[in-house]
Amino acid sequence: MIRINDIVDEILKYNPQADVEMLQKAYVFSAQAHKGQTRLSGEPYLIHPLEVAYTLTRMNLDVPSVVSGLLHDTLEDSYVSKEEIEKYFGKEIAELVDGVTKIGKIPLKTSEESRVENFRKMLLAMSKDIRVILVKLADRYHNMQTLNFLSSEKQIEISKETIEIYAPLAHRLGIEWMKEELEDTAFKYLKPAEYRMIADKIAQKKKERDEYIGEVIGILKKRFDQFHLNAEVSGRAKGLYSIYRKMTQEALNIDDIYDIIAFRVVVNNIRECYEALGIVHAFFKPIPGKFSDYIALPKANMYQSLHTKIIGPYGEKIEVQIRTHEMHKIAEEGIAAHWKYKEGKVFDAKEDKIFAWLRRVIEWQHELKDNKEFMEIFKIDLFSDEVYVFTPKGDVRDLPKGATPIDFAYAIHSELGHRCVGAKVNGKLVPLRYVLKSGDSVEIQTNPTHKPSKDWLNFVVTSKAKTKIRQWIKTEQREQSIELGKTLLEKELTKHDKSLAKLLKSGELQTISKEFSFETVEDLFASVGYGLYTPLQVLGKVIPEGEKPSKLKTLISSFKKGRDSAIKVQGIDGLVVRFAKCCNPIPGDKIFGFITRGRGLTIHVADCTNVHAYDEQRKVEVSWQLNKDFTYPVRLKIVGNDRKGLLSDISSIMASNKANIISAQAMTYPDRSAAGMYEIEIGHMSQLQKIIKAIQKIKGVRSVERVRGTI
């Protein structure tokens, strides 16, 4: 439990001249006003104003704010009058308490209209004295901590309002810790299952994560020391709600412990910020497009830092924020960091130039008479990390930053997304990958026969668009495979004087499906279409023993347990694949699959020269499933000046990189040059690249080249 002495101790830390007597007086006043009152938790009511006042000291606020925290519920819940407060504490504090009380009277379960009215009141109070909203935030903060004593209906109502209005307000005022805690608590009530899942996962991986954080801090510190840069380095997991948001918006995998950690580097001045950035980028590969300079271009809430993403020691993505101590103070305390503790100086949002946003809101407050319009614009500005665009009818849609017309179309309706062929923004035609900006008016053009494209997945950002496109592709591919499988089976059956229709009618095909562990006949067709089974294999169950070709079994067994398990096809498991001889793909190569009639799926590299000849309809998206102990043949052509020991130098590099040499042919030419053709076994692209690099460094070697196809 917080005591008045704790509050006094806290405030004296950052404001040694604080009027302690005034604080003591407010404490006694509040204790008398709330005498005999209890909260729903059964605790004495006084605990609440004490908690609120304590939170205000965490925000480094001045004495009048903290006093108002102690008194904030006296007008509402007891028989104290504004005049009385003014008599004991002066006009400034009386106004503050009155301001908080007015916006406090927001009855729950009100109409949208009266809610908006309340927000306007809040903003009006804020424009007179910004401390009103800070006290209100501290009040909401403690109410969220004790939300478990309310009915579940109220819990949800209050949490919604907190996540929609109060958390973004805290963010806007630059008080990040408050924003994060408000969000996380509201998240717990709004999405209990998701909250639990993330909280549990975070707790499970704590040790692993702490070790990893320690390791990265160690590496960074060592590099900074090397350059005599005095920097504080820290790392921590992000808030639960922001992890959840990342998971839904960016398809983040919660098991990936790295993506949820942010590292922070704090240095002495701006010059050192850029120095630190240079050092970080010199030792870790930066990810292109992931660098933001909020020092040159501060955020609306005055936040400043350099943000970058780099590839860490294990190939993982790491977020690093670099800032000065002063910037750090602003990032932590927000608006209070700009506070001046001079006597009688009140923070005036109208005059202070640091909060352009606040001034803008106050202007709207006067200009926009229509409540709905006001709320729309207010919300647009509150969530600056989202873009707000308009439908042709003038409705507002909020989309995450980076959203495209396709995201917009799917946000409205799945069918609109599927049939989207073009888009007009503000009346002009734009490409489908155009990035929408706030205020854009978007019109989607459709064609009833149009189908989604796989390419869209490369640029859409909303999870709705992503899942809908994927779903469509999966269904489409399955339909194609069923069709193909059916055709193949029919052809094979005719050869043996059988008919598919008859087998279906007799129920024989249904029985065969069960034997292959498929639920339906369609699944069986699809498996043939995908190449999981050959038509002959299926028909082996129908055709008499003597007619069965024996070749079939060996084909299957040689691939079943072989390299093919390194291939993953979207949505399908256990596929039999073969690797194209024309291009010999190895893990790390960009690849695609091609259904060869009766021969299953063949894997080619994406830029295989034979590709043009292939039927688009039979291409299948595939990817490598790594960490398998299989090897792939690769041919290397090495040209160099013939010298003694060249061959043994090359062989020893292959050996030291654990590449098995299958065959080697070497020849020398009259001009004393030598060419060698090596066939080696490789596990992964990176291994091959290492070998090629090492061979290039051998004395006398002129070129190393990977040779595709057969010699």
Which residues are catalytically annotated? 76-77
User: Which of the stretches 66-74, 316-324, 325-333, 509-517 binds Mn ion when contact is defined by CB under 5 A?
Assistant: 66-74
Minimum distance from residue 170 beta carbon to Mn ion (Å): 17
Strand partners, 263: 235, 320
Q: Residue 6 belongs to what H/E stretch?
A: helix 4-14
Of 73 and 649, nearer to Mn ion (C-beta) is: 73
Start-end of H helices in 146-285: 152-161, 167-172, 176-190, 192-204, 206-226, 240-250, 270-283
Minimum distance from residue 240 beta carbon to Mn ion (Å): 25
User: Which of the stretches 68-76, 286-294, 350-358, 403-411 binds Mn ion when contact is defined by CB under 5 A?
Assistant: 68-76
Q: Which tokens hold the place of 21?
A: 């007597």
User: Which of the stretches 71-79, 147-155, 324-332, 592-600 binds Mn ion when contact is defined by CB under 5 A?
Assistant: 71-79
Phi, psi of 210 (to 5 degrees): -60, -40
Q: Does 181 bind Mn ion (CB under 5 A)?
A: no
Q: Under a CB-based contact definition with an 8 Å cutoff, are residues 166 and 137 in contact?
A: yes
Q: Does 51 bind Mn ion (CB under 5 A)?
A: no
The H helix count followed by the E strand count for the chain is: 29, 20
DSSP track, 369-405: --HHHHHHHHHHHH-TTEEEEE-TTS-EEEEETT--H
Minimum distance from residue 48 beta carbon to Mn ion (Å): 6
Of 139 and 589, nearer to Mn ion (C-beta) is: 139
User: Which residues in the 127-166 window bind Mn ion by CB under 5 A?
Assistant: 139
Of 104 and 587, nearer to Mn ion (C-beta) is: 104
Nearest residue by C-beta to Mn ion? 139
Residue 6's alpha-carbon distances to 12, 20, 58, 105, 305, in angstroms, are 10, 12, 11, 29, 33
User: Which residues in the 465-484 window bind Mn ion by CB under 5 A?
Assistant: none
Of 105 and 699, nearer to Mn ion (C-beta) is: 105
Q: Which amino acid, one-letter code, is at 635?
A: R
- Cα gap 113→371, rounded to integer Å: 7
Of 62 and 139, nearer to Mn ion (C-beta) is: 139
Closest of 280, 282, 271 to residue 308, by C-alpha = 280
Of 155 and 324, nearer to Mn ion (C-beta) is: 155
Q: Under a CB-based contact definition with an 8 Å cutoff, are residues 273 and 213 in contact?
A: no
Q: Residue 41 belongs to what H/E stretch?
A: none
Of 94 and 138, nearer to Mn ion (C-beta) is: 138
Question: Which long-range contacts (C-beta less than 8 Å, at least 24 apart) are formed by 455-459?
Answer: 456/406, 456/432, 459/404, 459/406, 459/432, 459/433
Place of tokens 């007008």: 75
Minimum distance from residue 139 beta carbon to Mn ion (Å): 4
Minimum distance from residue 72 beta carbon to Mn ion (Å): 6
Q: Any idea what the Cα angle at residue 405 is, between residues 402 and 406, rounded to 5°?
A: 95
| CB-count exposure of residue 140 (10 Å: 0-12, 13-18, 19+) | buried
Q: Which tokens hold the place of 698?
A: 């051998």
Minimum distance from residue 91 beta carbon to Mn ion (Å): 22
Site string for Mn ion, 200-229 (x = CB under 5 A): ------------------------------
Q: Under a CB-based contact definition with an 8 Å cutoff, are residues 527 and 571 in contact?
A: no
- Cα gap 176→672, rounded to integer Å: 70
Q: Under a CB-based contact definition with an 8 Å cutoff, are residues 577 and 531 in contact?
A: yes
Site string for Mn ion, 503-532 (x = CB under 5 A): ------------------------------
Minimum distance from residue 23 beta carbon to Mn ion (Å): 18
Q: Any idea what the Cα angle at residue 295 is, between residues 292 and 299, rounded to 5°?
A: 75
Of 139 and 259, nearer to Mn ion (C-beta) is: 139
Q: Which tokens hold the place of 584?
A: 């010999």
Residue 556's alpha-carbon distances to 45, 184, 563, in angstroms, are 76, 53, 12
Place of tokens 């950052």: 14
Strand partners, 292: 307
Q: Under a CB-based contact definition with an 8 Å cutoff, are residues 474 and 571 in contact?
A: yes
Mark residue 76 as left, alpha or beta (left: phi above 0; alpha: psi -120 to 50; beta: remaining): alpha
Strand partners, 572: 569
Minimum distance from residue 73 beta carbon to Mn ion (Å): 5
Minimum distance from residue 138 beta carbon to Mn ion (Å): 9
Of 100 and 650, nearer to Mn ion (C-beta) is: 100
- Cα gap 494→215, rounded to integer Å: 66
Of 144 and 389, nearer to Mn ion (C-beta) is: 144
User: Which of the stretches 28-36, 73-81, 167-175, 221-229 binds Mn ion when contact is defined by CB under 5 A?
Assistant: 73-81
CB burial readout 505-520, b (16+ within 10 A) else e: eeeebeebbeeeebee
Of 71 and 595, nearer to Mn ion (C-beta) is: 71
Minimum distance from residue 136 beta carbon to Mn ion (Å): 9
Of 73 and 492, nearer to Mn ion (C-beta) is: 73
Closest of 660, 648, 655, 664 to residue 699, by C-alpha = 648
Minimum distance from residue 26 beta carbon to Mn ion (Å): 15
Phi, psi of 623 (to 5 degrees): -145, 165
Number of shown-chain residues binding Mn ion (CB under 5 A): 2
Q: Does 73 bind Mn ion (CB under 5 A)?
A: yes
Q: Which amino acid, one-letter code, is at 558?
A: S
The residues of the shown chain that bind Mn ion, judged by CB under 5 A, are 73, 139
